[in-house]
Chains A and B, each alone.
Chain A
Amino acid sequence: MLQQFLDSLIADGVFGGLPRDIVYLIGMAAAGALVVFGFVLNVAGVTTFVERRVWARIQSRVGPNRVGPQGILQWLADGIKLLMKEEVIPFAADARLFKLAPFIVTIGFIAAFVAMPFSSVLIVADLNLGILYITAMTSLVVVGIMVAGWASNNKWSLIGGIRAAAQIVSYEIPAALSIFTVILVTGTLSMQGIIQQQGWGPWDWFIFHSPFTFVGFFITFISLLAEGNRTPFDLPEAESELVAGFVTEYSGARYLFFFLVEWGNLYVISAILVTLFLGGWQAPPIPVISDSAVGRNVLEFLTFFLKSYFGVVLMMWIRATLPRTRVDQLMTTCWKYLLPIAFFNFMGTALWVLVFPEGFRFAEILLTAVGFGLLGYFAYRVAFHLRRSGAQITLSPLS
C-alpha cells in the first residue's frame, strides 16, 4: 500500500528526479517514524500509567492522580523527569557497552512493530515470513539485556543478565513450537495471511481451531510472558533478590529505554497472541461503517487494539497477583513440561490438519463453548470471593 502511494507521488513528480529506491527509503523511514512516535512510544508510556492505576485498584489504593486529569499525564512527567536526570555511568563499567545496551534492547522492541498488522492495510511491511521475523526481533532484546548485565560490572546485574539469557533462550523453544502449530494450519508465515484465514467470530479463531491449538495458545502465552520478563517469570529483575537485576546501575534516559521496552513489550506480546490465536483485526461487518475503506480500517484497528490491550491488562493482573518462581522451577517448567507438551501439540496439529484439511466445525463450536464455560466458571469464583470477603467494589475508574 505504501509502495502504491509512493508510486503515485513519484508519478506526480513530487520527488523530482530522485531515484526510486531512495524515495522508498525515505517513505519507509517516514512511516517508521510515524509508527514509533505516533504509536509505540505513546502505547508504552500510557501502559505504564494504566498499569499503575490497574494495580492501585487491585491493591485498594488510589494510584497516581495528580498530573493532569486523573493523573493521565503521569507517564509524560515520569518520562521528562528521567530524561532530565543525570546519567551515572559506574567508574568500573565497560562504558561503551554500557551505553550501547539500551539501544540494542530498544531496536529489538521497535523493529517488531514493522510486521505488526494493525488492520487490513495498516502494516509497515507485510513480510512473507512475518511471524518468524517478529520472533527473531523480540529475541534481540536478550542480547541487550546480557550486554547490560555484563557491562554494568555489578554482580547483581550479571546474575540478572545471565538469568535473562537462560530464561529467554529456553522459552523461545516452546513458544516457537506453539507458534508453528498455527503455521501448520495456515501454511503461511505472513501476519496478514494468518489473520485473513480467521474470522471475526470466536469460532473462527485459531485458538478454537482444534484441541491442540487451544493448548498451544496457553503455552504460547506462558512462554511469551517468560520472554517478556513478566511476573511470575520476572527473575532477571527480581527486585527483592537482585536489587533491580540488569538495570541496577542504569539511570536517567538509558533507564527510560529499558522501562519503555518492558512496558512496550506487553503490547507486542499481546499483539502476537491476538494475531495468531484471537482473530487479529477481524471485525464484524457493521453495515454503514464497513462500506467505506477508512471506516473499515478504523474498525479493524480498534478491534485489534482493544483485543491486544485486553491482553496487556490481563498481564498486569497476573503480575499483581502471582509471586515469582525460582530459577530452577522456571527451567523445570520449561524443559520438563512446556517443551514436551508443545512438541506433542505440534505433532497433533499436523495430524489434525491431515485429517481435517478444512477444519472441523463441530470441534470449533465445542471448544468455543468450553472456552466460554471456563470464563463463566471464573466469573462465578470471583463472585463467590467477593461475597465472602464482603469487599466493597468501586467500578468507576475515577478516584
Chain B
Amino acid sequence: MSVAGFEVEVDRGSGLETEEMTLNMGPQHPSTHGVLRFVVKADGEVMRRAVPDIGYLHRSIEKISEKVGYHGFMPYTDRVDYVAAMFCNQGWGMVTEKLAGIEVPKRGEYCRVIAAELNRISSHLLAVGTMILDIGAITPFFHAFREREKINDLLEELCGARLTYNYMRVGGVAWDLPPGYEEKVLAFLNQLEPMLDEHYDLVSENTLFRGRAASVATISAETAISYNLVGPNLRASGVRYDVRRDEPYSVYPELEFDVPVGTGMAGEVGDSFDRYYLRVQEIRESVKILRQCFQQIPDGPVVAKVPRKLKPPAGDAQIRVESARGDMSWYAVSDGSEFPYRCKVRTGSFAAMSIIEEISQGLMLADLVTVIASLDIVAPEVDR
C-alpha cells in the first residue's frame, strides 16, 4: 500500500506485536491553519515520522506575474501571505524598484513601515493566539483576536481593506495617512501594552502551557541555518539576525529597536516556547518602531513618479524583506518588456514546513500541533 509516496507495511502478526499506525492529518484538520496535509506514522501516541504534503493551496502566483505586468501584480502579492500581506506588497514594490532604479520618497517609506509594522503586530497576534488555541486554551486566542481586530480597523482606514491590503505601489504607497491617524494608532498602542502584560501572566507564566511548549521540538542553530529557517524561528534558535537591522532597507536604519533572541527561558534555546515568546517580544519592538515612526515622519509626497507602463531594463534582482514570518526573498527577472519575465518568492513558511519532518521524530502526536503552530506556518505562503 502506498501513501504519499512511501510504502506502508501492514503486518498482521499472530502474537502481541504492535504496528505503526498511519494517520492522515489534513488536508482538512482544525489545527493545520489552512489546507495542509501530514502523513503521520505513529506508534500509539508517539510519532515516528510526520511527512508534510503541500500543494493544496498552490495558486500559481509566480506564473500569474508573467501575465499581468509590474503594477498589475501588486494585488496578487496580497494572496501570497494573506495574514501579513503588507510585506508581500513591500517585497514586490522593492524588487521592482531595484530593477527599475526607482527612488521612493521618504514619507512613502515611513508610510510603508507604519503599515508593515502594524501588520506585523497583527500577524504575530494571530500566530500567538492560534498557538495557544492549538494547545487548548481558548480565551487568550479571543483576547489576541480582539486586539487584531483593532489593527484590522486601523488598516481598513488606511487602505480600505482588512486583509488583502493592496496598499503599496511601485515607488511608494497608494494613499497618505488619513487625518488623525497618528492619534488613533497611538491610542491603540497605549492600550495594547498593558494587554501584553496581562497576556504574559495568563499564558507565558502558565505552567500547563510551559509544560506543553518548553523543550518541545528544539531546533539547534546549525539545523536552523542549514534548513534556511528565517525570522522569529531562526532568532529563537539563538541567531541574532534580523534583515531590518543587518541588511537594512527602507527607513529602518533611522529607527531604533532591539532584536530579541531565544534564551531558553522555559527550557532549551530554540524550543517551541522560545519561538512563541519571541513573537510576543517582537510585538513590543514593533510598538517601539511605530512610536518612533510617528515622531520622525517627514512631510512630502508618498509615491514617486512611475510610468504607467513600467519597463525596467533587462536584468535580475533580488531583495529580502523581514516579513512577519521572517526573511521573505523576492527574485525578479526583467527582459525589458512591461511584463516580468520571472518572479520567485521564497517565503519563511516554506522553509519552516520542510524542517517539520526532521524535528517531529519521536514527539507525541499532540506535539505536532504545537510544532506547526510554533513555527507559525501559514499554508498559502508555503504553496503560493
Does the CB pair A241–B146 fall under 8 Å?
no
Chain B nearest CB: distance from A217 CB in Å?
Answer: 21
**Contacts A155-B21, A155-B23 known; A59 to B194 CB distance under 8 Å?**
no
Knowing A61-B142, A241-B31 touch, does A323 contact B191 (C-beta < 8 A)? no
B130 and chain A: residue at smallest CB distance = A240
Q: Cβ of B369 < 8 Å from any Cβ of A?
A: yes
Given the known inter-chain contacts A58-B139, A388-B198, please indicate yes or no for A323 contacting B146, CB distance below 8 A.
no
User: How far apart are the CA atoms of A325 and B134 in the complex, in Å?
Assistant: 11
B22 nearest CB neighbor, chain A only:
A155
Contact flag A59-B143 (CB < 8 Å), given A240-B134, A320-B138: yes
The count of A-to-B residue pairs whose CB atoms sit within 8 angstroms is 90
In angstroms, how far is the closest chain B Cβ from the Cβ of A51? Answer: 11
Docked-complex contact B209 and A240, CB < 8 angstroms: no
Q: How far is the CA of A231 from the CA of B206 in the complex (A)?
A: 14
Q: How far is the CB of A378 from chain B (nearest CB, A)?
A: 14
What B residues does A238 contact at CB under 8 A?
136, 366
Residues of A within 8 A of B24 (CB): 155
| A389 engages B197 (CB within 8 Å) | yes
Judge whether A328 is part of the interface by a CB distance below 8 angstroms. Answer: yes
How far apart are the CA atoms of A239 and B365 in the complex, in Å? 13
In the complex, what's the smallest C-beta–C-beta distance from B371 to chain A, in angstroms?
12
Q: Tell me, yes or no, whether B309 is within 8 Å of chain A by CB.
A: no
With contacts A155-B23, A240-B369 taken as known, whether A323 is within 8 angstroms of B212 at the C-beta atoms is yes
Interface size on A, residues (CB 8 A): 33
Residues of A within 8 A of B191 (CB): 390
Instruction: Given A155-B21, A323-B206, A389-B194, verify A59-B136 contact (CB < 8 Å).
Output: no
Interchain CA distance A155-B45 in the complex, whole Å? 12
Report yes or no: A243 in contact with B146, Cβ–Cβ below 8 A. Answer: no
* Shortest CB distance B38–A (Å): 12
For the complex, is A168 an interface residue (Cβ under 8 Å from B)? Answer: no
> B29 contacts which chain A residues (CB < 8 A)?
243
Residue of A with least CB distance to B208: A323
Contact B30 A243 (CB under 8 A): yes
B137 and A323 contacting across the interface, CB-CB below 8 Å: yes
Measured in the bound complex, the distance between the Cα atoms of B366 and A241 in whole Å is: 6
B218 CB to nearest A CB, Å: 16
A327 within 8 A of B: yes
- Are B366 and A388 interface neighbours, CB within 8 A? no
Task: Give chain A interface residues in 305-352, CB to chain B under 8 Å.
Answer: 319-329
Q: Number of contact residues on B: which range applies?
A: 35 or more
Instruction: Identify which of A55, A159, A241, A385 contacts B138 (C-beta below 8 A).
Output: A55
With a CB–CB cut-off of 8 A, which chain A residues contact B208?
A: 232, 322-325
> Nearest CB to that of A239 among chain B residues?
B30
Chain A residues lying within 8 Å of B45, measured Cβ to Cβ, are 159, 327-328
Asked whether, in the complex, the Cβ of A389 is within 8 Å of the Cβ of B364, the reply is no
List residues 210-253 of chain A with CB under 8 A from any CB of chain B: 231-232, 234-235, 238-241, 243
CB neighbours (8 Å) of B209 from chain A are: 323
Bound CA–CA A241/B24 (angstroms): 12
A325: contacting residue among B133, B143, B211, CB under 8 A: B211
B293 at the interface (CB under 8 A from A): no
Distance from A90 Cβ to chain B, minimum over Cβ atoms (Å) = 15
Query: In the assembled complex, how far is the CB of residue B217 from the closest CB belonging to chain A, in whole angstroms?
Result: 13
Expressed in whole angstroms, the minimum distance between the Cβ of B144 and any Cβ of chain A is 11
A326 to B136, CA, bound (A): 10
Chain B proximity of A330: nearest CB distance (Å): 10
| Interface of chain B residues 15 through 40 with chain A (CB within 8 A) | 21, 23-24, 29-31
B383 contacts chain A at the CB level, 8 A cutoff:
no
Contact with A along B342-384 (1 / 0, CB 8 A): 0000000000000000000000111101000000000000000
Instruction: Give the residues in chain B near A323, CB-CB below 8 Å.
Output: 132, 135-137, 206, 208-209, 212
Residue numbers in A under 8 Å from B132 (CB-CB): 323
8 closest Cβ pairs, A-B complex: A324-B136, A59-B142, A323-B137, A240-B31, A323-B136, A323-B135, A240-B134, A389-B198
Q: With A328-B45, A389-B198 given, name 17 new contacts (CB 8 A).
A: A55-B139, A58-B139, A59-B142, A232-B208, A238-B366, A239-B30, A240-B31, A240-B133, A240-B134, A319-B138, A323-B206, A324-B212, A329-B211, A388-B198, A390-B191, A390-B194, A391-B198
CB<8 Å pairs between A and B, sample of 7:
A59-B139, A232-B136, A320-B138, A322-B208, A323-B137, A325-B208, A327-B366
